[in-house]
Amino acid sequence: MKEIGVLASGRGSNFQALIDAARSGYFPAAIARLITDNPEAYAIKRAKDAGIPVSVLDFGSFPDRGAYEKALKREMEASDPDLFVLAGYMRILPLAIVKAFPGRIMNIHPALLPSFPGLHAQRQTIEYGVKVSGCTVHFVDEGTDTGPIIIQRCIPVEDEDDEEALAARILVEEHRILTEAVRLFLGDKIRIVGRRVIIR
């Protein structure tokens, strides 16, 4: 059976969506490991409840970012699943890690890339005043939210929306398209051609 590794830093609701999808047989893979940079992440409890091994690499315990990134790369190489999914992982992966797993790292972002990359995408959306928002699953490259786009889902931005209300509605769609993208990848339905992702 194929395996997935997940990196998460916080609540882990997208991680839970992956757990549920794996349990239901929606995609043919086991979640082999959670890696987190935050020893207080609620995702840890989700992993333990599901019997998934956890590696905690507390960012604050390392002397500098470089030391943390070397430890993260070692941990990822040791587990070496078919696919890594960033599910609310709040750090940018260094080039050395991206190059070590080409086309094997996915990220979920709460905006329609290339608009509003980086942190606080929902806040950026509200402040800019766009009428349509949504979420994007993309492959990770050396930039910030710049990799080839796999799936996007749109939702309207309502006049009464604030950051929290918009984020909650986007999150529902995140769970759907993230699990769908993983299913397509594991079923060998995805091909990267330049910047385009072709889905068969």
Residue 114 and residue 147 in contact, taking contact as beta carbons nearer than 8 Å: no
Domain tally, the chain: 1
Residue 157 and residue 133 in contact, taking contact as beta carbons nearer than 8 Å: yes
pTM of the model: 0.95
Q: What is the CATH number of the domain that holds 73?
A: 3.40.50.170
- What does the pLDDT average to over 91-97? 96
Tell me, what's the pLDDT at 9? 98
Per-residue confidence band for 171, with pLDDT thresholds at 50, 70 and 90 = very high
The residue ranges of DSSP E strands in 1-82, in sequence order, are: 2-8, 29-36, 54-56
Tell me, what's the pLDDT at 198? 97
- What does the pLDDT average to over 160-185? 98
Helix (H, G, I), strand (E, B) or coil at 135: strand
DSSP state for residue 191 in the 8-state scheme: E
Tell me, what's the pLDDT at 150? 98
Q: Catalytic annotation on 175?
A: no
96-107: per-residue pLDDT in tens?
999 999 999 999
The fraction of the chain above a pLDDT of 90, given in percent, is 99
Residue of 109, 120, 138, 175 with catalytic role? 109
| Distance from chain centroid for Cα 181 | 11
Per-residue confidence band for 73, with pLDDT thresholds at 50, 70 and 90 = very high
Tell me, what's the pLDDT at 13? 98
Average pLDDT, the chain: 97
Enclosing domain of residue 9: 2-199
Tell me, what's the pLDDT at 59? 97
